[in-house]
Amino acid sequence: MDEETCYEWGNLFASSWDDLVKGMSVKASQMGLAQQVDGRDLRWVSGTETKVKYCFIQDPSDINSIRRIYNDETNASVPVCFIVVRQPDPSDSRGEIIFDIFRMSPQSYLWHFYRVYTPPKHLD
């Protein structure tokens, strides 16, 4: 993923919940899927079948928000389930706000899939 794409996803994830939902809905439509909102989760569906699920964690130190995801065993059975975590990491200077993206599957409940970020302040 190039830096511009990282910034695009980072800006989307850093936006307000309503703007995030709207932006993700556009991305779902581009893939021919419909979006359903379920609390802090977004499901992209085809008919009644969930194809992709995004679970958002704003505070990685909030153990209850993390348990919520792992207590839902269906997350590992969705064809693609991403956990998006707003991640404080002062050692990473590539971006201002950093998001780690993990992918769940029956083979791995914690596969570090990618990292995206908003542009550093000096680039604004």
pLDDT, one tens digit per residue, over 30-42 is 999 999 999 999 9
How large a percentage of the chain has pLDDT more than 90?
71
Res 90: pLDDT = 80
Q: How much is the mean pLDDT over the chain?
A: 91
40: phi then psi, degrees, rounded to nearest 5: -95, 15
What is the average pLDDT across 74-93?
A: 89
Closest CA to 87 of 121, 122, 58: 58
CA angle 13, 2, 97 (to 5 degrees): 30
Residue 124 has pLDDT above 70, yes or no: no
CA dihedral of residues 6, 52, 102, 120 (deg, nearest 10): 20
| pTM of the complete model | 0.90
Q: Dihedral of CA 55/44/7/119: which sign? A: negative
Rounded distance between C-alpha atoms, residue 118 and residue 110, angstroms: 23
Res 121: pLDDT = 79
